Amino acid sequence: MDKEHNLVPGNQLWKRFLFRIIYRADTKLGKLFDIILLLLILASTFIIMMESVPKLDKKFHTTFIICEWIISVFFTLEYCLRIAVLKNKKCYLFSFFGVIDFLSLIPFFLSFFFPITKYFLIFRMLRMLRVFRVFNLLDFMNDGTVIVRALKNSSRKIYIFLLFLIIFSVIVGSMMFMVEGGRPGFETIPQSIYWAVVTVTTVGYGDVSPITPMGKFFAVILMLAGYSIIAVPTGIVTAEMRNKRQNLELTCERCGNEDIDDDARYCKQCGKKLA
């Protein structure tokens, strides 16, 4: 979204002034605003984590509530100002950060109607994503779309692999149910399947383990197979990303430069952003 063209027109200088502070960091006030945002984001995250500690919450509950209200009021005002200084408000409201800003404010407004809002803590934690905007790290988020696109393009292969993994776990779990003969942890087929999934994914909680020699033999086979199985989805996504890169013409559209590194995002001659 080109915010310069989205700015409200002409004679409303105060909106232009606020726009530069809120959306830019090329002035002292803009930099100060970003610093305040960053500190409040960190403070809010710290408060949320401390609230989950029973002893600290019991001792400083009132302080935490007051601080969170102050922070939430600030973010609410900031959210309203971001909307007010833009001409095309929908561009911000339905943008990634617009949605994040809205969701992070939900617990604050719900607290007016529901006294217990601890179940909405995750929405308040979404404020941490705003660090990308404060540090102007949108390029890193754009790079993330490459991974998302690769996952989407290879989704069919991954679905087939997951289906195979589910069938494999069910078969092995059923076999272990028969082999272990109802011993602790293998009393039912679902419990045995749980053990198979934990083992094949190499998690290995250790809460359930086979006792019989045959059961241990199956466990060894499953452990060794787990290393190969875990590598499959990684290889699928990596191959998709490599094919995507190879299919692109590594040539700058602006200057025709062909000397471009595989991990380059900008042309080294003219500086144009590569596709």
Domain regions of the chain by residue span: 13-140, 146-250
Give the CATH H-level superfamily of domain 13-140. Answer: Voltage-gated potassium channels. Chain C (1.20.120.350)
Q: What is the residue-averaged pLDDT of the chain? A: 78
- The DSSP-derived string for the chain is --HHHHBPPTT-HHHHHHHHHHH--SSHHHHHHHHHHHHHHHHHHHHHHHHTSHHHHHHHHHHHHHHHHHHHHHHHHHHHHHHHTBSSHHHHHTSHHHHHHHHHHHHHHHTTT-S--GGGHHHHHGGGGGHHHHTT-HHHHHHHHHHHHHHHHTHHHHHHHHHHHHHHHHHHHHHHHHHHTT-TT-SSHHHHHHHHHHHHTT----SS---SHHHHHHHHHHHHHHHHHHHHHHHHHHHHHHHHHHHS--S-TTT------TT-SB-TTT-PBP-
Give tens-digit pLDDT for 212-233: 888 898 888 888 888 877 777 7
As its CATH architecture, domain 146-250 has Orthogonal Bundle (1.10)
**pTM score above 0.85:** no
Above pLDDT 70, what percent of the chain? 76
Q: Quickly state the pLDDT bin for 194 (edges 50, 70, 90).
A: very high
Q: Quickly state the pLDDT bin for 8 (edges 50, 70, 90).
A: very low
Q: What is the pLDDT of residue 63?
A: 93
Above pLDDT 90, what percent of the chain? 8
Is the per-residue pLDDT at 266 higher than 90? Answer: no
